[in-house]
Amino acid sequence: MPKITLTDAAVKRLKAPPIGQIDYFDSGYPGLALRVSCGGRKSWNYIYRFAGKPRRMTFDTFPAMTLAGAHEAWRQARDDVRVGLDPAKPKAPEPATDFGSVFEEWMQRDQAGQRSERDVRKRMEREVVHLWAHRKITDIGKRDILDAIDRVADRGHKTSALRLYAHLHRMFQWCLGRGIVTVNPVTALPKPGDETRRDRVLNDAELIAVWNAAEKIGYPYGQAMQLLILTGARRQEIAALKWSEIEDGASLRHQGRFWSGRGIRRRCPHR
């Protein structure tokens, strides 16, 4: 195993052996070797010890990897060995830090199954995701957030602006807890006003009138309205209701019936 000082010119001059292969070790870079095979192939290798055992890893072939490239690959591999990592093992990919990817992870891990999941996604995608998707989340600052909230408020949608503020605050707080960001930029920002509470509710006579009107409308909107009265669910939730989300839904579907509340069944024209 000859040890020589490898230069660009020396690497080019090395001849293939008549049989087998020869490792030429670079004297200035311990463990770095250029393997020359009898067929003329030249490949950069790094020979090292890990966990008490000798190891060999191949970087690339020459001239696809130059001498300078081999030296850089050697430095990275040597540094891995020094900190207890095996450079031959594939490294885990770095987690995505662009806003779009982090947003999708937040929706999956924090918002999935929440009653407001659909509204949160719709509002966030409409107001900020399409603008920030490819930006690093750590580059999103107070000015960006204020601009996004102000755009919504300036359209006269004060409640929606407040909701957007809440969504962003929760998302960045979640990112802070997972070490994705080091600060929540929403924390010190003023809220865009207060949400107006709607205290108006239908009295019994009004509910009866709505119920009877829904009877006349019939399937599907009339019965959907009756479900809203009986359950107090959101309109979007009833509109997206599936048989799998209804208790004993399979048996009711088989019977061609629609369960619209405790003790109430209505014939459904579609199974």
For the chain, what percent of residues have pLDDT higher than 90?
57
Interval 141-178: pLDDT, tens: 999 999 999 999 999 999 999 999 999 999 999 999 99
On the question of pLDDT at 115 being above 80, the answer is yes
Question: Would you state the pLDDT for residue 234?
Answer: 73
Helices 158-177 + 142-154 axis angle, to 10: 160
Q: What band does 63 get if pLDDT is binned at 50, 70 and 90?
A: very high
State the pLDDT at residue 197: 57
Angle of CA points 239, 124, 128, to nearest 5°: 150
Per-residue confidence band for 218, with pLDDT thresholds at 50, 70 and 90 = confident
d(CA 213, CA 144): 48
261 pLDDT more than 50: no
Q: Give the per-residue pLDDT at 188.
A: 85
DSSP-based three-state secondary structure for 23: strand
| Over residues 28-53, mean pLDDT | 92
DSSP β-bridge partners for residue 23: 35
Q: Kindly tell me if the per-residue pLDDT of 249 is higher than 70.
A: no
Residue 77: closest CA among 31, 25, 42, 36: 31
Asked if the bond preceding 220 is cis, omega within 30° of 0, the reply is yes
